[in-house]
Structure 1
């Protein structure tokens, strides 16, 4: 994130919340601890305010840019990690109560729809002038959310087809 420009840990928290925080979960404490560690390693510089809250502003160094370049060039064979509470509940749905499954399906469909709509609104807002690779990552986010929304919609339809009339 600092390759985009200098920032305090609070600034990083704000940047992350609206960007990679949508698809890469991590503890916000890392945004306060990690910059100091990277500065000690020579990958960032830290400049402290003279007065006031004495906030530290971090900036990437040439060594930091080289480390970023090395990281980007390294292979990424890992599988995508899925941590979806709705999917976990669906797996154990055999043990659910009679109304639990339809509620789960409707809630998850609506949740993914809202997220996809939010991504789409952001896409519409930034696509004309944003970094093209950030826009591509947003496109994938939209597709993933729409696909999962479609799954739950089809699942709701199959539940409705199984439910006898009058129930």
Structure 2
């Protein structure tokens, strides 16, 4: 009669021999991955309400957008608050095959009810518009590139072959400290 230890050992060895490659993302070349990242505009009042320095967050979000492009990704960043209609995000996603989607920490890490609802709406929109694309999350305004490189690595260093800027869109009027809509 087989002991529990030998059955467990056989099970663990069998599982250990399966190919881990099926779980790893396929590396693609420079300019081959379209990234859609969304979240709150850095100057939105709800950024300040969560204790963040809005000028610093705004600067870091813009830098993160450019860092992703410089690393070889084609990037569209769409920033808006819960007062906007989620259809604005859906329209910004039309016409492009998104290789990866991301939601910023200002929405995802919030304890504010309106941002939790926005986070859910964003995820549902991603399911409708980019079902097969992995969705990633940054952990602060400096970690956009880190978040996409884990799930959509590129096959080479793209320092001499940056990606494309597919747009940087802020949908924000009275809710932002600068009071301007940036489209």
Higher relative CO (Cα under 8 Å, sequence separation at least 6) belongs to: 2
Instruction: State if a TM-score over 0.5 links the two structures.
Output: no
More helix by share: 1
Q: TM-score, normalised by structure 2?
A: 0.20
TM (norm. structure 1) is 0.21
Q: Which has the larger radius of gyration?
A: 1
Structure 1 or 2: more strand by fraction = 2
